[in-house]
A and B are shown apart, each in its own frame.
Chain A
Amino acid sequence: MRSGHHDFVDEFRPTSRACWIVAISILFWLPVRGEAQSSSDAINDVLPRVVKIYGAGGLRNLEAYGTGFLVSPEGHIATVWSHVLDNFAVTVVLNDGRRFEASVLGFEPQLDLAVLKLDEENLELPYFDVNNSITAGPGSFVLGFSNMFNVAAGDEPVSVIHGVIAAKTELITRRGTYESPYDGEVYIVDAATNNSGAAGGVLTTRDGQLLGMIGKELRNAGSNTWVNYAVPIQELGHAIEQIISGQFDNEPTEDPATSEDSLQVSPLNFGLVLIPDVINRTPAYIEAVLPKSPAARAGIQPDDLVLFVNDELVDSCRSFRQELSRLELGDELRLVLRRGEQLITVELPIEQQANVP
């Protein structure tokens, strides 16, 4: 599965990998070199860079407030692309209570990202460098800053909460698990960072270094739980800079699900007949294998249970069909089957299939 967006992310991977190693050593050596500061110093540093945003909404459980963070001294603000920005003009309240009108400068729907610009000129504001290379792993202390639930209703700064990174993982790990346009890596946090109005806030390290932007409220359909997460700043920095500079890469975007490259193959193309699909999660048991078919040649037998397609767990007949339909010419097809108490791995060739009746 390749898309423009992925290429865009890949561009950043080598740097971020190198940075990661550097970051680890920094994380480790920082305290020793005396560059660390206590959490409360860090909070005083971060708060002036986080802003409250008031815009459209206020009806039917859609809150009319959100959070953003300053990314330039002239008053560029990164935030989440949401209904709050529907009017393209919003009110921004700074940490010290100053109010400014701001307009949407641009947005990147794939990243759920928008950049605003304060209408006021000639400002010298504290801001985050979005080109940082700070990352953190599971167990790292983090701070979350946001206008959650609009409790900071007056002139006061946003709320700060603390927790640790629970995991760094891709939102796409299990397909169909999340409904979000963004499917890259995120920090999962063990604190309730993602609330009403919190989206667009920041996640920082204990000593106030920007790690990522808190995303919209999102439910994990796999475990039926709400997820607290932030999008790493390395995924956003390039897009933020492009919007500010007004230059855009000319990248085609395509929806992988409707990609013309996908072969739309079905189990029958390989000679596999599944058991009747009666409930939502009918396990993908093989009912029969057509003689002389690729499946028969690979040794697949009736009553085998299909567990993985190319390392993607298939928990039902339905998800097996979906996984197969995504295959493209040139992909490999590796199945892991359960036969009794054994796991068996088989590889099947993918060819331009003739239409099997």
Chain B
Amino acid sequence: MSYRYWKRSSRCRIGGDRTRPSLSIGIGQVARFLVLVLAAGMLAGNCPVVEAQDSEPNLESLEERAFKEAAALVAPSVVRIETVGGLDRVGNVLTGTAATTGVIVSSDGEIITSSFNFVSDPASILVTLMDGRRFPARIVSNDRSKMLTLLKVEANGLRPAIAARTSSFRVGQWSIAMGRTYDFKTPNVSVGIVSALHRIWGKAVQTDAKVSPVNYGGPLVDIHGRVIGVLVPLSPDKDDETAGVEWYDSGIGFAIPLQDVYETLDRLRTGEDLHPGLLGITFRVASRYSGQPTIDRVRYNSPAGDAGLQSDDILKELDGKPVSRLAQARQILGTKYAGESVKVSVQRGEETVGAEVTLVAKLEPYEPAFLGVLPARFPDDDPQSPPGVRLRYVFDQGPAAEAGLSADDRIVKFNGDDVEDETSLLDMVGRLRPGDSAIVDFQRNDEPMQANLTLAEVPEEILGRLKTSPIPSAGTAEDQDEPQPTGRITDKLAGFEQSYWAYVPDDYNPRYEYGLMVWVHPGGDTLEGTIYKSFREVCDSRGIILVAPKAQKVNGWTAEEGEFVRSLVEVFESRYNIDANRVFLHGFASGAQFSYQLAFKYRELFRGVVGIAAPPLVRPPENLPQFRLQILMMCGDKDNLFPLVERTTAGLRSMKFPVSFVRIPGHGHQYPGAEQVEQIGIWADQLDRI
């Protein structure tokens, strides 16, 4: 679109208003003024202060005028979006009811906007044009990578926005964020600069103009009235639909280049959602910015697996561009959609292997394999313990039992590799899938033996009984530098308003690794007495420490209190000898819902969750080998929520989480009795199963 066109359209807007003829001054003239003023500055040479000539407009007022004109030029392409019906809350984010914004991308009614504007899943969407005409809109498709949504209204003769070329973007150039949310006649504006290019793994331009729900979906405009991009909330580390909203109005805002949107428009038009392209590999690096990108795992049935990529391959090139850090790989893959392909080159030993890989939208969920053993628990520093894993228990009918292994055998090799300890055995088994076969070398009474077996799925049933693991006596107190308190404790955590209570077995032995149960009370009742009475004996016999944070307001947890729970767990892990594989959450009713939320959020911390009488409210994350999570759900069959809880079990299982479900016959919506508490104890006592 030429400058001439712009000038004309600018006149069109103002033509009828004779009181303001001077406004029809063109952008070109303003730009010329700017050049003049700047030139004057340069000519002044040594004199740093340039006095504005009294008879000339100053730079600030010219800029201001240019902003207003740029906004006015884009205004006809900026529409107001309103929604009707829908959810109040998505995750921790309250969804808005206010109007949002979109940008016209075709004359026949296509509008691109931020997917955030529809997180509430509204029943109906309405679009209002600048001239006040209103249309019902339908969602055509979504770009799940760049978090955009394409809408369609039945209208013609609309003015699509003009995209600024991505090659013209410069850090430091003016940028104007626009929305049409306060008023349908006049867009709202915020002025800033372009802060950075290629942000969020190459997807977005960053601006310091104020970006928030009042302009998500609106355009970021340059001083010439061309659209740099479409404003969206984004976060470099999270990819859910509300990610990045917490940065609203902070001076960190993002826009997806409109040129990139136009390039994908044909694909969006087909009605198929675009998804980020996945390769199916994870890397073995300390951080994205250090260490060679060495492949750790290749997912089963993934594009990388099909292309023959293997563990320990070192990524060298993507699409012909050298890659030496994981962050570079993400930058190149960040803009790729599922269905697109990428040339991968890896170093395997001395040779270089290349492959062309077609990315996919969805990977087959990770499914943990099961050997069917419980490792024996040793005090950390037992000098008697040779390498390998001594078995505490072998699961009946599990792969190990079928192959003839029994308790007290010591596994020393798995598929020919030495087994150092239970962590390395878990890792080796976790790299295979149910149905894969394996060879296990083990020792029975110092006699070497070997077994061939086929790995199974993690069983759903809870063992009827499980012998407790002996806890050696605490020994003399002089072993302990600083004895930690035992018994029932009530305290506060430094830096938090909330308090907590805890129970540490009286005969706590710091040389034994304890499980940690985090009790998350339901809203309105801490159930402190019930839980203490029910679990004291279980904690003593099965080596579990109980810690129970209290919500600041007893009537319920707020999402922010997750940080308190996290800190509390970390403090207990530093004070006591805790087995990281046996840290789990336990909650009832709304406490169960918060437990699931915590388990899904702090994945590095929790290995299990026991939820009673409530299903998870938030969508579970993808099951990942590095964040093992086992789930126990219980519900009385007289509880109104029973069918819902039962259904959720199936959903979690389809995501390949190991889920045990206990139906409590004749029980309503109350905390269950001793029988179920015993089951929780057994389940918790085998969280370290392999």
Instruction: Give A contacts to B, CB under 8 Å.
Output: 21, 24-25, 28-32, 34, 36, 38-39, 137-141, 163-169, 173-174, 177, 188, 190-192, 206, 220-226, 279-285, 305, 307, 313-316, 336, 338, 341-343
Beta-carbon contact of B182 and A38 below 8 Å: no
- Separation of A235 and B37 alpha carbons in the complex (Å): 38
Question: Interface code B179-198, partner A: CB below 8 Å = 1, 0 otherwise?
Answer: 00111001111110000000
Interface residues on B, range: 35 or more
Which A-chain residue is minimally distant from B100 (CB atoms)?
A223
Please tell me if the beta carbons of B67 and A206 are within 8 angstroms of each other in the complex: no
Which listed residue, B20, B84, B177, B213, touches A224 by the CB 8 Å rule?
B213
Please list 24 pairs of residues, one from A and one from B, whose beta carbons are closer than 8 Å in the complex, sorted by A's number. Answer: A25-B22, A28-B22, A32-B56, A34-B54, A140-B64, A163-B191, A164-B64, A167-B188, A167-B189, A169-B183, A174-B98, A220-B214, A223-B98, A225-B214, A225-B248, A281-B86, A281-B120, A282-B85, A283-B85, A285-B123, A305-B124, A307-B126, A316-B84, A343-B126
* Selected contact of A223 from candidates B85, B96, B122, CB within 8 Å: B96
B98 & A177 in contact (Cβ 8 Å cutoff): yes
Main DSSP-derived SS at the B contact region = loop
Which residue on B lies nearest to A139, using beta carbons? B68
Q: Shortest CB–CB separation between residue A226 and chain B, in angstroms?
A: 7
- Bound complex: CA A174 to CA B82 (Å): 12
On whether the beta carbons of B182 and A173 are closer than 8 Å, the reply is yes
Contact partner of A226 (CB less than 8 A), chosen from B136, B190, B249, is B249
Q: Chain A residues near B138: list those with CB within 8 A.
A: 341
Q: Which chain A residues border B187 with CB–CB below 8 Å?
A: 138, 167
**A164/B190 contact (C-beta < 8 A), A174-B97, A225-B249 known:** yes
Q: Mark B73-89, 1 if CB is under 8 A from A, else 0.
A: 00000000011111110
A-B contact count (CB 8 A): 163
Apart from A285-B123, A305-B123, A305-B124, what are 7 other A-B pairs with CB-CB below 8 Å?
Answer: A31-B57, A140-B68, A164-B64, A169-B183, A307-B126, A313-B99, A341-B154
Which residues of B lie under 8 Å from residue A342 when comparing CB positions? 136
CB < 8 Å neighbour of A139 from B60, B134, B191: B191
- Whether B188 lies near A138 (C-beta < 8 A) is yes
Cα A206 to Cα B62 with chains together (Å): 12
Q: Tell me the minimal C-beta distance from A277 to chain B in angstroms.
A: 11
Is B466 engaged at the interface, CB distance under 8 Å to the other chain? no
Residue from B123, B126, B182 in contact with A167 in the complex, judged by beta carbons closer than 8 Å: B182
State the CA gap A281–B65 with chains docked (Å).
Answer: 42
Residue of B nearest to A173 (CB): B182
Is the pair B68, A138 in contact by a Cβ cutoff of 8 Å? yes
- Interface residue? B46 (CB, 8 A): no
Please encode chain B, from 482 to 523, with 1 for each CB lying within 8 Å of some chain A CB and 0 for all others.
000000000000000000000000000000000000000000
Residues of A within 8 A of B83 (CB): 315
Q: A139 touching B189 by the CB < 8 A rule?
A: yes
Instruction: Report Cα–Cα, A223/B186, bound state, in Å.
Output: 18
Chain A residues, Cβ within 8 Å of B64? 139-141, 164, 206
Q: Which residues of chain B have C-beta atoms less than 8 A from A188's C-beta? A: 182, 188
Task: Give A163 Cβ to nearest chain B Cβ, in Å.
Answer: 8
Q: Is the CB of B212 within 8 A of A166?
A: no
| Among B54, B60, B213, contact of A39 (Cβ-Cβ < 8 Å) | B60
Closest chain A residue to B250, Cβ basis: A192
Residues of B within 8 A of A (CB): 19-20, 22-23, 52, 54-58, 60-61, 63-65, 67-68, 71, 82-88, 93-99, 120, 122-124, 126, 134-136, 138, 154, 176-177, 181-183, 186-191, 209-210, 212-214, 248-249
Q: Which residues of B lie under 8 Å from residue A38 when comparing CB positions?
A: 52, 58, 60
A139 with B71: CB separation less than 8 A: yes
Rounded to whole angstroms, the CA-CA distance of A139 and B188 in the bound complex is 8
Most buried by B among A173, A220, A224: A224
A177 to B96 Cα, complex, angstroms? 10
Cβ contacts under 8 Å, A343 to chain B: 126, 134-136
Q: Complex formed: what's the CA distance from A138 to B189 in Å?
A: 6
The answer on a CB contact under 8 Å between A138 and B186 is yes
| Minimum-distance CB pairs A-B, first 10 | A222-B98, A283-B85, A190-B190, A34-B54, A167-B188, A223-B213, A169-B182, A283-B123, A31-B57, A139-B68
CA distance A191 to B186 in the complex (A): 19
Residues of B within 8 Å of A30, CB to CB, are: 61
Chain A residues with Cβ under 8 A from B214's Cβ? 166, 220, 223, 225
Using known A-B contacts A222-B97, A336-B134, A338-B124, determine if residue A281 contacts B189 with beta carbons closer than 8 Å: no
> Is B183 touching A173 in the complex (CB atoms < 8 A)?
yes
